[in-house]
Each structure stands twice: as C-alpha cells, then as structure tokens.
Amino acid sequence: MDCEDVVYSNDYFDFIAEKFSGTAGNIYEYCTQKINNVYTIVYAAREGLLPLSIANYTYSSIPKCFTLMDKSALEASGILRMQNYPTLSLKGQGILIGFVDTGIDYKNPVFLNADGSSRIAAIWDQTERSGTPPEGFIYGSEYRNEIINEALESQRPENIVPSKDTDGHGTFLASVAAGSELPEQDFIGAAPYAQIAMVKLKEAKPYLREFYFIPESATAYQENDIMAGVAYLNQLAEKMNVPLVLCTSVGSNSGSHGTGSNPLLSVLESIALRRPRGVVVAAGNEGNQRHHFAGQIPEQEEYQDVEISVGTGVDGFILEMWASAPQLFAVEIISPTGERIPKEFILSGGKEYTFLFENTTVSIDYRIARISAGDQLIFIRFINPVQGIWNIRVYRQAVYAESYHMWLPIRELMTGEVYFLRSNPDTTITTPGNGYNVMTVTAYDASDNSIFIDASRGFTVTGMIKPDFAAPGVNVYGAGLRNQFVTKSGTSVAAAVTSGAVALLLEWAVARGNNTLINNLDMKNILIRGAQRDPGRTYPSREWGYGKLDLYQAFENIRVK
C-alpha cells in the first residue's frame, strides 16, 4: 500500500509526533507527513500495535476530532465605511484569505471577477484522489487558479475540477469574508478583492470516531488534517509572496483550554508570530451546552462530587479533567445504582473497570501532560453508560490541590444527551481559541446588540482575556449552495467577518506599504483599541472580550491627528 492509500485507510493509525527522527524500527510499517519543524504526522499500520488508548500512547499523539462552529454585519463592524472611504477604498487587494473547512463552490458568481475569471487562488481537496497532491504533501488534489479558470470556461467544469462543497459551510464563510459585490443580490463580502484559498478537509477515520464515540452523522475532522491544511495555506502564501489571513472555524473541547494545550494551537500560534500573517479563530458555541464544570474543593473538605446526567441512547462519551501544575487529584466513580470504582491514585497510567449491574465499562487514565507545562490530565471513557446520574468524586492528592476543570465533548460530537448538573458557562472557549497570539472572536447580533445565545465564554484557565472581541455573527447574509443566498449564525460567521476586516487592515499596512512589519499581535491590539464599548458594561468581559469589532474606529485611532 502506497502512502497516499495509507492516509485514507482505517487499517492505519494517525499519530502526531514531535521531532520525529524517522527511526520507527521494524515493529510496524509507517508513512509520514511533515507539518513544520516540530510536528510530523506518522501513519502506522494497526496490525501488531496496541489498541488505541491514552494509556498505550501519549495524549497529544492521538489526533483530536474537531467540528464546525457554525450587509448589516459590515455596517456594524465598520467594514463598509472602510470599503467606501474615498481616499482608502480598502477591499482586500493583494491579500490572501485562507480557509480550512468544507470546501468551496468555485462556480458561484460570488467568487468571480467582473471578467468571469476566478478569485480563488487554490483549492486543496483532501478528499479528492484523482488529481495531484500539493508539493510537500502526500494526499488529496490541488487545483490552482489557472486550472480553476480552465474549468470555468469548459462545458463540464467538474471534469477538470471535481471538488465540491456538499455542506455549504466553507462556501458561506468564504463569501462573507471575501465575496464579490453582486448588486442584484444586494451583497458584498468584507474583502471583495482579496484572493481566496480553500482546504476541503477529509472526514475523520472510523477508528477515531469509535474511540471518541462520534456518531456517523456528525461532521468531524482530524486534528492532523487541519494542521496539514494550515501548513499548506502558509506555504501557498509564501509561494505567492502575499500576506495571509487564516480563518479557523473548527473547534473542540479537548485540551486544557490554556495556551499551547494541543499541537493544532501550537501550529497556529507559531504562524501568528510571523509577518505578514493574521490568524482568526472562532470562540465556539459551547456557552449554553452545560459541558464545563469548574471544581473548587474547600480546604476543610476531603472531596467534591461532580454529577453528570446521562440520557438514553448514549453509546459512550469521554471526559477530560485538567488541573494546573503542581496540583494532583484522584477520582472515584459512582454509578446511578451506587456501585463504585474506588479511588486509586496513579501518577501516570491507566486502568479499566466494569460495573456489574450497569454493564458499563469505564477506563481512567492519569497523565502529566508535558505540552501543558506539567498539568495533570485525568482522561475518562464511559462505554455503554446506563441512563441516570453518574457521580465523579474528586479527591485532592496534595495539600495545594484546590481547583480543577472538567469538559465534555462538543454537542455535535456526542450521541444522546450528556451534561453536568452544576455546569459553569465560563471557560468554554473551544480549542484552538485559547492561544495568546491568535485573534479569538465571539459573535453578537448586530440588530439588537445582544451576545449570541450559544457563544462560548472566557476567560481561559490561566485568566487570560478571551475572547478578544465580538463581531456580527447572528443571521448574517451569505452565499449558500446552488447559487442561493442564506443566513447563518455562530462564532464561525463572526470569524469570517473578522477575517475580512483583517484583510483590509493588511492591505493598508502591507500591500500599500504603511507598516510592512505588522503581525497578528499588532493587528489584534489595533482592533482591540478600536472596539466599541457600550456604556454600562465592564470590559474586558467573559462574554464580549474588549468590545465589538469596529474597523473604522481602529483606523481613527491610528491616523495622524
């Protein structure tokens, strides 16, 4: 089996390796895909390997699964004023906006120039195997601008560029961020002259879906494929020698919800430090899902109970408990009928237990996560959990152990209903939105200035201010499938609006030579300083960050006065 086949085969495990030396030995066959100087993806034959578990492999080496974070918007965010300001007329000229998403309907008029040619610089379709992979990558098919234009001029475009967006999410976000002006549709994107690049992600392999109990109907993508997509977009911008805005609209509840808590966030953070790069991340839609518990054991108490409600039809679920170093905890699990797994503290290792009357299997793995600077992780898998209230009793294992956090998976990645009875809506920013350098955006309704009801809330576990600010993300108008226009809501929509705004800022700074050394942190601070702050609200806040995106006010603040 060649390496391209291996990428798609469920007979191979995908591992995220740091500083991979290539000396895997003779115990298994493998292929590799380099992401950057730190991370390499290793595809290893499952035959002869130990079963997939945190106990048998490291936490960070097993790819996490991510899912999508689903004209008034441009007016509210000050973008329309910058497009129409006579002496500036910023529209994204000379900037590349890259998406890692569901693909793009390249035939839609919203992505065409006035002469009918495409504004799409490239598409890397990870699901399509009929073409040639991008340089440096071992799978998928790349379609550059000249091939896309050839397809558009033909009678059967799909015979030349067979890539499709069957979901519509990627098409919608690309149109919001960079759609051409269509007066007959009363539509214009935030950066209508920007070039577009799209990575269509392939779906997660069955073995990973099984490990994380992800239903077949759910949209789920592997962390390593997203990392490869990000690396490709960065490489493409380097080849084109243009500034890049990365719009990241996928999220996961995995990780410590702190800086550097997983490989994908590490890759995005490193790109955010480069010039000229903008990295925009959706904050997530987990604020009202009851999937976060904030634990605090009083000094006089021996333990704390954490109750989880499990509904009918739940095949299984995972739970991650994180505690900042040097704290250490142990857990005891009590079933709905009172059967219990006794507390057994293990510094590093795991065990599997079966509840006799419930016919439920639970595995508990204790780990010290190096990528999170020594934080403790307790990773728990419930297999075939019986309906009812499950209790996780948390014990401190050191005198300085007081606080911890637990997260359940994102709603879309679960079968049935599972939630904490005493949940906490704060600290629900999804990965990779918890990084210091990335620009994390939440959503609000521009029609009534209310926060999006499901928006994730800050701050991070270390108290860092996230989200950075809010952008319009409720009932936003954009391109759908079959050349229709639709409205969508969610923090991914807010990320698309912001990506267009960042493209205009990069056009002024780099393409027009006003500040060629600008990076993502610089742009984030410019937008924060220009954010609208309503009287009566205290900023920064867990819901709004530093306020509402206002690109016009940001330029007002930096102009010569």
Q: Is residue 46 part of a domain?
A: yes
What pLDDT was estimated at residue 437? 94
Q: Beta partners for 405?
A: 294, 322
Q: Is residue 382 part of a domain?
A: yes
In terms of domains, do 415 and 517 share one?
A: no
In terms of domains, do 74 and 62 share one?
A: no
In terms of domains, do 360 and 272 share one?
A: no
Q: Given pLDDT bands bounded at 50, 70 and 90, which one contains residue 236?
A: very high
For 262-318, how does the pLDDT look when each residue is reduced to its tens digit (9 = 90+)? 899 999 999 999 999 999 999 999 999 999 999 999 888 889 999 999 999 999 999
In terms of domains, do 237 and 193 share one?
A: yes
Domain count, the chain: 3
Contacts of residue 331, Cβ cutoff 8 Å, sequence gap at least 6: 321, 343, 364, 378, 380, 392, 393, 394, 395
Picking from 368, 390, 420, the residue at the C-terminal end of a domain is 420
Instruction: Single out the residue of 95, 101, 111, 438 nearest to residue 244, CA to CA.
Output: 95
In terms of domains, do 46 and 88 share one?
A: no
Q: Give SS3 for 275.
A: coil
Q: Is residue 21 part of a domain?
A: yes
In terms of domains, do 204 and 76 share one?
A: yes
Residue 241's CB is within 10 A of a number of other CB atoms, namely 6
For 427-446, how does the pLDDT look when each residue is reduced to its tens digit (9 = 90+)? 999 999 999 999 999 999 99
Provide the residue range defining the domain that includes 156.
68-287+431-558
Q: Mean pLDDT across the stretch 329-354?
A: 90
Q: Is residue 425 part of a domain?
A: no
Amino acid (1-letter code) at residue 11 = D
What pLDDT was estimated at residue 371? 59
Which DSSP state fits 550? -
In terms of domains, do 298 and 352 share one?
A: yes
What residue spans of 198-320 are helical by DSSP H?
Answer: 206-212, 223-240, 263-272
In terms of domains, do 390 and 444 share one?
A: no
For 240-262, how does the pLDDT look when each residue is reduced to its tens digit (9 = 90+)? 999 999 999 999 999 988 866 68
What residue spans of 273-391 are helical by DSSP H?
Answer: none
Q: Is residue 426 part of a domain?
A: no
In terms of domains, do 405 and 436 share one?
A: no
DSSP labels, 372-386: GTTEEEEEEEEESPP
Picking from 420, 448, 464, the residue at the C-terminal end of a domain is 420
In terms of domains, do 224 and 316 share one?
A: no
Q: Mean pLDDT across the stretch 10-34?
A: 77
Which DSSP state fits 134? P
In terms of domains, do 23 and 113 share one?
A: no
Question: Which is it for strands 195-200 and 418-420: parallel, antiparallel or unpaired?
Answer: unpaired
For 126-168, how does the pLDDT look when each residue is reduced to its tens digit (9 = 90+)? 999 999 999 999 999 999 999 999 999 999 999 999 999 999 9
Would you state the torsion angle of the CA atoms of residues 261, 263, 269, 272, taken in this order, to the nearest 10 degrees? Answer: -160
Picking from 362, 389, 420, the residue at the C-terminal end of a domain is 420
Do you know the residue count of the chain?
Answer: 561
Both structure tokens of 119: 């504004």
Q: Given pLDDT bands bounded at 50, 70 and 90, which one contains residue 452?
A: very high
Amino acid (1-letter code) at residue 424 = N
**Average predicted confidence (pLDDT) for the chain:** 92
For 550-559, how does the pLDDT look when each residue is reduced to its tens digit (9 = 90+)? 999 999 998 7
In angstroms, the CA 277 to CA 435 distance is: 15
Would you state the torsion angle of the CA atoms of residues 147, 148, 153, 156, taken in this order, to the nearest 10 degrees? Answer: 100
CATH of the domain at 458: 3.40.50.200
